[in-house]
Chain A
Amino acid sequence: MLLQRIFASVLLLVCLSLVAMALPYQAPFSYEPIGPRAFPLLMLGLMGLALVYMVYRPSPIKHTDEDPPMDRETLTKIAVCVLLLLVFAGLFEPLGFILSSMLVGIPLARLYGGRWLPGAVIISLMSVGLYLLFDKVMDVPLPLGLLDVLEN
């Protein structure tokens, strides 16, 4: 309940700042009665109303059996996972697809309960395989990065 109140309040603040951001949006000259800010303001206004109601009266979350309560361990894991994904996004172009997906994929496999060696073998094969499949067969261009030398 508390979490929902906090979430709704934060979202409400975001809403308000977006409204402030939208207020100066005005077309220099316009051929239509409705400018560019009416629709976003309408949406933000409705969302704000709904969020105020939610802060006032949050609805209980139904817990299912397979949904374990959050503990410190899970939260750490989630933080690590997010971090790995961010590293992946950051290194995607500089290192190239194959190296970055190996670098991130292997610890990711470990995080989800795999062992180092099989994880490393499978992820490496998968990275090379997916690169060949997408870049060579399906024409989706992927960066080679450091491995650029191999190409020529």
Chain B
Amino acid sequence: MDTLGYLSHGFGVALTPYNLVTALSGTLIGTVVGLLPGLGPINGVALLIPIAFALGLPPESALILLAAVYLGCEYGGRISSILLNIPGEASTVMTTLDGYPMARQGLAGVALSLSAWSSFIGAFIATCGMVVFAPMLAKWAIAFGPAEYFVLMVFAIVCLGGMAGDRPLKTFIAALIGLFLSTVGIDANSGVYRFTGDNIHLTDGIQFVVLVLGLFSISEILLLLEKTHRGQEAFQATGRMLFNFKEAASVFWVNMRCGVLGFIMGVLPGAGATLASAVAYMTEKRIAGPGGKFGQGDKRGLAAPETAIGAEACGALVPMLTLGVPGSGTTAVMIGALSLYNITPGPLLFQQQPDIVWGLIASLFIANIMLVILNIPMIRIFTKILAVPNWALVPMIAIITAIGVYAVHATTFDLFLMIGIGIFGYILRKLDFPLSPVLLGFILGGLMEQNLRRALSISNGSLDILWSSGITVGVWGLIVVMLLVPIVRIWRKRSVAQRAIADV
């Protein structure tokens, strides 16, 4: 009952005209950013951090803005998938499978609005899940001490590798690079300068925004050089724009199933939207059986990944808000934003700053509704944006990125650092390393070290404290399972391959 009271309080915060305008502009910016090739939710949110700060937005409005941009980006990513058959990011690959065939059949408008609707239902289910589970989790998490937190963060890192599938080693290395980078700068406990090379600009550590924009924007600019496509002709969304009741009803159960699935995948650290959409698509394909026309424009094949992505985006906020442990690249960026405001997400946030938490949850509801309403009349405008050629787009990304970095500290050292990180990120990408673990490691690194040192101070240096409580032992168990998953998977793949050779 308490929850409902808090929720209505949250709506009170979110429904103030100021915050409504914030959410609206956030969804618009997010959709455009998500549309553009080379810019995804991580860049979008990271670019807005210094700007939100410079604008002097109060923390709850800033968080609402960032969450709205986040949701908007996820929405925008689908438009290029359906109209151009080019997934804006990895998670929308599944959307192209049935969305593009639908557009070719002249159902582009229907596909777009139906996917908006599916994503809305997914996000709605996940937000409801969040309202129910987040306070419970927060209450439980209060019992966590530093040792528990440390083990939990180890779990989050290991999860990334376990879920990443085919390249656990690279994911692991990427996360360790991030963890290491977080130690650069002055050590808060002892005042020792670490890895700064006597450079005064590094005493503060590497700025979070610099790392994100270097890794994601600069490396993307370099990647775009290889694909010199000049603004594709998009399918014109003509004819019927809105899906009808029958079409919505035909995918209703798909929406329900994939919404719950997406939420669970969102809460789990490391799973992410890519995995959620893939699992949703495969599951629905199996449920539909041979009767389904998956891959040729089946509406269920479009609804399944979209619902899952929508639900995942909201579900990922649960561990971030309740535990302060981000599970994905984008939520890691949001933690970085909060730390600019000196807000530490975690179980205490629910008690100390209910305005922020519940205002955010309520504005998720509102932003989702806004996105559905916006999407349908504005599809024509959005398709125009897709026609922007790369030669105009890339300089703009470069310039805006530089503004974002410069806005943090107003030093050109940060610009050079960003370019250096960008080149490194580009090499990592060319060698097939995933980049978001670097980001996650960077955010978790500081927290991990603090908690480890605090825990060992409590126990006076004895490592026993790391497995002394029931919670820690349980999480260690999960860690072992997560470590075994990729090993078993690789081993099985290898034995299948060997059998195939033996058969020949």
Judge whether B461 and A33 touch: CB under 8 Å.
yes
The residues of B that contact A106 with a CB separation of less than 8 Å are: 395
- Chain B nearest CB from A146 CB (Å) reads 16
CB-defined interface of A111-145 with B at 8 Å, one 1/0 digit per residue? 11110000100110011001000100011111000
Closest A residue to B196 by beta carbon equals A21
Cα of A81 to Cα of B228 in the assembled complex, Å: 14
The residues of A that contact B407 with a CB separation of less than 8 Å are: 134, 140-141
Count how many chain B residues have C-beta atoms less than 8 Å from C-beta atoms of the other chain: 69
- Chain B nearest CB from A36 CB (Å) reads 4
- Chain B nearest CB from A104 CB (Å) reads 8
Judge whether B192 and A82 touch: CB under 8 Å.
no
Cα of A40 to Cα of B445 in the assembled complex, Å: 10
Judge whether A108 and B394 touch: CB under 8 Å.
yes
Cα of A90 to Cα of B411 in the assembled complex, Å: 11
B137 lies within 8 A of chain A by Cβ: no
CB-defined interface of B397-434 with A at 8 Å, one 1/0 digit per residue? 01110110011001010011011001100110011100
Other-chain residue from B225, B399, B415 in contact with A81 (beta carbon distance below 8 A): B225
Cα of A95 to Cα of B183 in the assembled complex, Å: 34
Considering only residues 166-214 of chain B, those with a C-beta below 8 Å from chain A are: 166-167, 169-170, 172-173, 176-177, 179-180, 183, 187, 189-192, 194-195
Closest B residue to A71 by beta carbon equals B226
B227 lies within 8 A of chain A by Cβ: yes
Cα of A78 to Cα of B362 in the assembled complex, Å: 45
Judge whether B191 and A59 touch: CB under 8 Å.
no
Judge whether A25 and B194 touch: CB under 8 Å.
yes
Q: Which of B391, B396, B416 has the most CB of A within 10 A?
A: B391
CB-defined interface of B439-452 with A at 8 Å, one 1/0 digit per residue? 00000010011001
Judge whether B169 and A112 touch: CB under 8 Å.
no
CB-defined interface of A1-45 with B at 8 Å, one 1/0 digit per residue? 001100100000000001001100111001111111101100110
Cα of A39 to Cα of B85 in the assembled complex, Å: 45
Judge whether A85 and B395 touch: CB under 8 Å.
no
Judge whether A81 and B221 touch: CB under 8 Å.
yes
B17 lies within 8 A of chain A by Cβ: no
Judge whether B167 and A59 touch: CB under 8 Å.
yes
Cα of A53 to Cα of B167 in the assembled complex, Å: 13
Judge whether B176 and A114 touch: CB under 8 Å.
no
- A112-B224 contact, Cβ under 8 Å, with A47-B180, A89-B412, A139-B55: yes
Considering only residues 456-497 of chain B, those with a C-beta below 8 Å from chain A are: 456-457, 460-461
Judge whether A86 and B416 touch: CB under 8 Å.
yes
The residues of A that contact B218 with a CB separation of less than 8 Å are: 85
Judge whether B449 and A39 touch: CB under 8 Å.
yes
The residues of B that contact A112 with a CB separation of less than 8 Å are: 224-225, 228, 389-391, 393-395
Other-chain residue from A43, A89, A114 in contact with B392 (beta carbon distance below 8 A): A114
Judge whether A61 and B50 touch: CB under 8 Å.
no
Considering only residues 370-394 of chain B, those with a C-beta below 8 Å from chain A are: 389-394
Judge whether B431 and A113 touch: CB under 8 Å.
no
CB-defined interface of B209-240 with A at 8 Å, one 1/0 digit per residue? 00000000010011011111010000000000
Count how many chain A residues have C-beta atoms less than 8 Å from C-beta atoms of the other chain: 70
Judge whether A35 and B389 touch: CB under 8 Å.
no
- Chain A nearest CB from B104 CB (Å) reads 19
CB-defined interface of A59-73 with B at 8 Å, one 1/0 digit per residue? 101100011101000
The residues of A that contact B402 with a CB separation of less than 8 Å are: 88-89, 92, 101
The residues of B that contact A27 with a CB separation of less than 8 Å are: 189-192
The residues of A that contact B55 with a CB separation of less than 8 Å are: 138-139
Other-chain residue from A7, A36, A105 in contact with B189 (beta carbon distance below 8 A): A36
- Chain B nearest CB from A140 CB (Å) reads 4
The residues of B that contact A142 with a CB separation of less than 8 Å are: 403, 406
The residues of B that contact A113 with a CB separation of less than 8 Å are: 228, 230, 389-391
Cα of A97 to Cα of B456 in the assembled complex, Å: 49
Judge whether B416 and A109 touch: CB under 8 Å.
no
Other-chain residue from B189, B226, B445 in contact with A68 (beta carbon distance below 8 A): B226
Judge whether B406 and A34 touch: CB under 8 Å.
no
Judge whether B51 and A140 touch: CB under 8 Å.
yes
Sample 16 A-B pairs with CB under 8 A, ordered by A number. A21-B195, A27-B190, A31-B457, A32-B456, A36-B192, A43-B180, A66-B227, A70-B430, A89-B412, A92-B406, A93-B412, A110-B391, A112-B224, A126-B392, A130-B400, A141-B407
Chain B interfacial positions (CB closer than 8 Å to A): 50-51, 54-56, 166-167, 169-170, 172-173, 176-177, 179-180, 183, 187, 189-192, 194-195, 218, 221-222, 224-228, 230, 389-396, 398-400, 402-403, 406-407, 410, 412, 415-416, 418-419, 422-423, 426-427, 430-432, 445, 448-449, 452-453, 456-457, 460-461
Name 15 extra pairs, CB < 8 A, besides A25-B194, A33-B456. Answer: A3-B431, A34-B457, A36-B187, A46-B176, A68-B226, A68-B227, A70-B226, A74-B225, A86-B416, A86-B419, A101-B402, A110-B391, A112-B390, A113-B390, A139-B56
